Amino acid sequence: MKFLNKNAYIMIAAHGKNFCTSAKNVFMLILRNIVRVVVIDKVTDFLLFIGILVVVAASGAFAFLFFDGRITFLSSYTPTLNFYVVPIVLVIIGAYIIASAFFSVYGMAVDTLFLCFLEDLERNDGSADKPYYMSSQLMKIVGKKNVLARRDSR
């Protein structure tokens, strides 16, 4: 339900229709392209999770170096601790929460671009009357081309 709601709100923003109409349209769009949706959704989730883990690992490493006193120019600010695991764990938890919030914005942007891509594939055929609106790099990746209109030579 959360997946459908998110995509319905994307379609509301794109087309300006009500929630029920947008939910129906996006549900049908997803059903017609289910394989692409599943693959892109899982790959995106994996890459965003890797990004979150990188941020959390970097924050945890910095916290460890800070609380252990190994960063010399910050050693005057380092508190004297007998047990510095708890502050490091708190930094890691906080970094995970904050990174998840920021990366959810990237996830929404990827979903929006993907739905626009699917909509472009369904509405347009690359002809002179209905050209694709996706970027040339994306057209190259998916193997699509716009047919240029011929000019009449007089």
The 10s digit of each residue's pLDDT in 129-145 is 888 888 888 888 888 88
Residue 79 confidence (pLDDT): 72
Residue 10 lies in a domain: no
Residue 110 confidence (pLDDT): 93
Residue 154 lies in a domain: no
Cite the DSSP H helix spans in 69-124.
85-123
Mean pLDDT, range 3-27, rounded to an integer? 91
Residue 101 lies in a domain: yes
The domain total for the chain is 1
| Percent of the chain residues past pLDDT 90, beyond the cut | 55
Q: Is the distance from CB of 11 to CB of 115 less than 8 angstroms?
A: yes
Residue 48 lies in a domain: yes
Domain extent, residue 51, equals 33-142
Residue 133 lies in a domain: yes
pTM (predicted TM-score)? 0.78
pLDDT tens, position by position, 74-110: 777 777 777 889 999 999 999 999 999 999 999 999 9
Residue 20 lies in a domain: no
